[in-house]
Amino acid sequence: RANSAVSRLNATGALTEPPFELLACLSLASRVHGASGGRFDPTIQPLWARYANAAIKGTTPDRETRDKALSLVGWHKVGINAGAVTLRPGMSLTLNGIAQGYIADRVADLLRGEGLTDILIDTGEFRALGQHPHGGPWPVRLASGGRVPLVSRAVATSAVHGTTFDDGAQIGHILDPQSGLPARGFCKELSISARSAAVADALSSAGCLCGNAHELDVLLSKFDGAK
């Protein structure tokens, strides 16, 4: 949406009096960024845009194009405080790796505030408020065929090739903010369960950039209850 807070921030490089929800989401993004050693980085948007534009032409960004885009990537370059969020010239943010989960959490908060219980929220990521109305956990089925029983928890899934930039479906949309290349982690699809859908969402995105199961375990150990 052209008038959304994120769109206005990306268009002008500055957003005064940012809404509370955006600040809360960016605060969590910052936490996951630090815990993941920079794997999770919402400033990846300029690089993502280069891949998307190249895909329209049936190509991929060359090294020079990637390097130019990477010069605009870096969470430390974002200014965040209660009064304003600022970006350096040319930078832009994407919340695709955390927003669906964050929205699920906000919906859960709103429904709980109305006294509702035993609800499953699906925003692309799942958040269970209580349990199944007939008793027991919600039997959430993953796209890969697995099942995750949820009671007052969330689950989020990221797939390296969930969206691709080429006809052969080999160039995935999860990009490494350090190398500028598509994720080449140890897994093709990753589901993370946590108490918060936003945490699960961000961790599943970052986890796809982990090199092995040990690196993923270390990352998850920094978030209570994540698995």
Per-residue pLDDT of 9-56, as tens digits, reads: 999 999 999 999 999 999 999 999 999 999 999 999 999 999 999 999
Token pair 């936490």 in the structure block, residue = 31
168 vs 189: CA distance, rounded Å: 18
pLDDT at 160 exceeding the cut of 90:
no
- Among 8-17, 39-48, 150-159, 183-192, whose mean pLDDT is lowest? 183-192
- Contact between 156 and 190 under an 8 Å Cβ cutoff? The reply is no
pLDDT at 187 exceeding the cut of 90:
no
At 7 the pLDDT is 96
pLDDT at 185 exceeding the cut of 80:
no
At 162 the pLDDT is 79
- Contact between 51 and 171 under an 8 Å Cβ cutoff? The reply is yes
Distances (CA, A) of 164 to 40, 141, 169, 170, 187: 19, 23, 5, 7, 16
124 vs 157: CA distance, rounded Å: 9
pLDDT at 112 exceeding the cut of 80:
yes
Single-letter code of the amino acid located at 185:
G
List of residues 6+ apart from 8 with CB closer than 8 A: 15
131 vs 134: CA distance, rounded Å: 8
The secondary element (H helix, E strand) that includes residue 127 is strand 126-129
Estimate to the nearest angstrom the gap between the alpha carbon of 143 and the chain centroid.
18
22 vs 42: CA distance, rounded Å: 13
Higher-confidence residue of 144 and 107: namely 107
